[in-house]
Amino acid sequence: METEDLTSRFGPLKIQDGESLKDFKKRMRNLKMAKEAQETMNHSDWVQDEYAESFKSALLVRGRTGIAFNDDMIMHKCEWDSGYPENPARYVAIMHRLNELGLVNRCVRIQNEHIDIDDITKLHQRTQYENLYKICEPFNVNQAEKIASNYDAIYFNKDTFHCANVAAATTLGLVRAVAEGRVSNGLAVVRPPGHHAQQDIYNGYCFFNNVAIAAAAVQSLAQKILIVDFDVHHGQGVQDMFYNNNNVLYFSIHRYEHGEFWPNLRRSNFDHVGSGAGEGFNINFPLNTIGCTDTDYMAIVTQILLPVAYEFNPDLVLVCAGFDSALGDEKGCMKVTPGFYGHLIKLLSGLAYGKLAVVLEGGYFLPSLAEGVAMTLRALLDDAPAFLLPMKDGPNDEVISTINDVKSVLCKYWKCFKVFENIGIKYANEEKHIVNVQYKGFEDSPPYPTRNCYPVVSQQEQDDLKVLVDCLKVDYGLPMKNKLCYVFDAVMLTHEAPEETVENPLRLQALYDRFLELELDKRCKQLEIKRVDFRALSIEVHSKEYLDDLINDGPSIPPTTHDLFWNSGSKISIETAVSGLITVCDAVMSGEYTSGVALIRPPGHHAEQSKTSGFCFVNNVAVAAKYMLDNGLAERILILDFDIHHGNGTQDIFYNSDKVMFISIHKFESGTYFPRSSNGSFDKVGAGVGAGFNVNVPFEINKMGCVDYLTAFFKIVLPCAYAFGPDVVLVSAGFDAGINDLLGNYKVMPQTFGHMIQLLRPLAGGRLIVALEGGYNINTLKHSMVFCIKTLLGDPLPPPSDMSRQKDNAHRTFTDVIYTLKKYWKFFNFEKRLLPE
């Protein structure tokens, strides 16, 4: 706003009729603060230094999702073995399910990119291209099968050359559209697949390496590319093509069984990390047992993939999406549910400004394949994700061992793992991990079988598994488009603050002004606040005597203190804040909206059962959680509090409950930082049936930043949340850990709060409710909350500004927390003392 707008808003610069000297001074102080905020925003150095991304990204909104496919690709089929798993039915099943759910029509159709021999031979030998043409034209089935025996798991027909070109062209068209920003993200449904195709050989159903060709073609648009490959078979072709390249990070999760599973390669193991300039940029996560579940994959994602991906900070994310790791696939023998793939896509979508292209690879059990692709596209479209079962059992022992193997070999390359070189000094005598490289496989050679060279499952078993997938499809329901609601009422500005008090109406007003300035109000629904029986609801959380005192006369505190004050507008503001949050909860839990934001004050998380504290009178979030539990709207609620001050009130209210998991990330300083209590320590884990459901992440020093907070999410928040499996997530959103805050002295950038929200979005079917708590630098507050709101709307996020090595003190905190939680949550069994190679 301009200065003249401020003057008109706050009135003339002189005492008005009926205005006291005290009120005039207060009005001038508010005007001065607003002018200073405006002047600071207009200072180019300041903006560039700390808030540049907030302004650059302000108008950056979510675009359309692209889809690329071509029906010609059904023509590629095996002429001599009708039972071959890689067949046209895969494509048909996928497209049928996507159309059945109405997903294709919601996307932008991306046409094939023109592709020729020069595009393909950037990575493949020219003879590989020419020989495929010669095999297919003219085509002789007997001769083709004989030639196929020279290649591992390959067949040809007269259309193979054409279809391989179409698959590569379709992939390139989609990837280029995403890289150029014509669409935000997208899916390419292609076959034959590509990730096994090597520079000079066809391999594993693959002829041309679709993703690798596309990655090489768009390097001028995206300098750093992350390729995530979750096909159950190792994509050795992609690995080989970028093994010496530090601009492409290849990350593969694959079944290995110490080399006894196809493709049986020694170089598919975790100790093959790249060479030359690419050393450290090839990451293999080999699975050495079958039956791996969502829990096992989520442990890999949170402990290895996300930390490295955020540190790498790619310009583009490509996914080799093979669904043969899904439930029922006879090749993979894994138990990943279709819904998990949507969660993975959501977790990756915070990277690269959301530029993410998913390309089909394998997947051979058609019900799981089709539903897995559908859940992937739903995630790209930003629909509400599937509910996953609570991951109480934790990852299996083989996965735990490999997590530590991978950390051990990567700690010399990636800052996120550097701390593991000296991990566990405090726990040195408990558990140690020794790296153990095993290889039991053999690398086969021609001739290869061309018929009956795949596992076969009985029809009865297939039917039973199909029933299971059909049940999951019912649970997933029809796609729910992302819809966001919010509440705001100017009456909450009447809870006026004494002079020099940081919790003042200007906080909420400035935030709301920024919200309107960016026209976010037009993209989400403002709810009319339903006035609730404030006392009846709050008495479930606060004592009768305390509420009576509060409602009748105001709290029994001195009339004016710096952290507690009361005036004629306080009661209505408190009632409106509680009513507003309850209104949002009703709207979200009814299914009318996916998520919601409560722009409310005064804050609440310090309010205890019978005590006011830290600007807080009634614990808004606690009242809302109890309301949802008591009314059957939710059975399990996760409350995440990232305000820099420990949410002591919320913790105390639910300390004995196993229905509410409370996680607080806060500044502690051995209990000397406000609220100055030992209750914020890592060893305060809950009591009775609530033991293990209270999680404190207490930082001990100043200047904690983006990397420390995001690492807390990867190592603690996400594992706890997925183990608990909430029905809804409530966020106590305080932004006083943000850069330049008057109270916090931390360095978390505004966009990083958006990333924290993004990482929470897959949980609870997307039911995420954000309620304002603290935050006392007005610029940091408003930019941070706007990032949270834009994230809930699916807008692209700029990267965190600083993902350097986490602070040693932060790592000691994480270690303390994890070793304490291991007693209650098996998900944390991965934490051991590492002895790097």
Longest dimension (CA), the chain: 101
SS3 string, 115-137, reads CCHHHHCCCCCHHHHHHHHHHHC
- pLDDT tens figures, 527-570: 999 999 888 999 999 999 999 988 887 776 554 556 788 899 99
Average pLDDT over residues 666-681: 96
Q: What confidence tier does 41 reach under pLDDT thresholds 50, 70, 90?
A: very low
The whole-number pLDDT of residue 423 equals: 47
> What burial class does residue 394 get, using C-beta atoms within 10 Å of its C-beta: 0-12 exposed, 13-18 middle, 19+ buried?
buried
390 preceded by a cis bond (ω within 30 of 0): no
Percent of the chain with pLDDT over 70: 92
The yes-or-no verdict on residue 146 having pLDDT over 70 is yes
Task: Give the separation between CA 282 and CA 174, rounded to whole angstroms.
Answer: 24
Task: Give the separation between CA 574 and CA 222, rounded to whole angstroms.
Answer: 49
Contact 436, 409 (CB under 8 A): no
Residue 752: alpha-carbon gap to chain centroid: 12
Average pLDDT over residues 416-442: 73
Task: Give the separation between CA 770 and CA 450, rounded to whole angstroms.
Answer: 57
Half-sphere exposure of 768 (CA within 13 A, CB side): 26
> What burial class does residue 752 get, using C-beta atoms within 10 Å of its C-beta: 0-12 exposed, 13-18 middle, 19+ buried?
buried
Classify residue 295 by its DSSP letter.
H
Contact 211, 226 (CB under 8 A): no
- pLDDT tens figures, 246-277: 999 999 999 999 999 999 999 999 999 999 99
Nearest to 473 by CA among 390, 379, 386, 345: 386
Task: Give the separation between CA 210 and CA 77, rounded to whole angstroms.
Answer: 18
User: Residues 6 or more apart from 42 whose CB is under 8 A from it?
Assistant: none
SS3 string, 223-273, reads CCEEEEECCCCCCHHHHHHCCCCCCEEEEEEEECHHHCCCCCCHHHCCCCC
The whole-number pLDDT of residue 837 equals: 53
Rg (CA), the chain: 28
Q: Give the pair of three-digit tokens for residue 328.
A: 């029922």
Contact 749, 801 (CB under 8 A): yes
Average pLDDT over residues 509-524: 97
Q: What confidence tier does 427 reach under pLDDT thresholds 50, 70, 90?
A: low
- pLDDT tens figures, 188-246: 999 999 999 999 999 999 999 999 999 999 999 999 999 999 999 999 999 999 999 99
For residue 559, count other CB atoms closer than 10 A to its CB.
10
Q: Give the pair of three-digit tokens for residue 687.
A: 């009591």
Contact 77, 157 (CB under 8 A): yes
- pLDDT tens figures, 437-470: 999 999 889 999 999 989 888 999 999 999 999 9
Pick the CATH number of 65-476 from 3.30.530.20, 1.10.357.10, 3.40.50.720, 3.40.800.20: 3.40.800.20
Sign of CA dihedral 95, 101, 105, 109: negative
Q: Give the pair of three-digit tokens for residue 803.
A: 């993902």
SS3 category, 357: strand
Q: Give the pair of three-digit tokens for residue 288.
A: 């050495």
Q: Give the pair of three-digit tokens for residue 251.
A: 């990350």
Place of tokens 């000296």: 422
For residue 616, count other CB atoms closer than 10 A to its CB.
27
Catalytically active residues, by annotation? 196, 606
- The partner residues of 485 in beta bridges, in order of sequence, read 525, 596
List the Cα angle 390/690/395 in 5-degree steps: 30
Contact 325, 371 (CB under 8 A): no
What is the fold, at CATH topology level, of the domain defined by 484-793? Arginase; Chain A (3.40.800)
Task: Give the separation between CA 619 and CA 647, rounded to whole angstroms.
Answer: 10
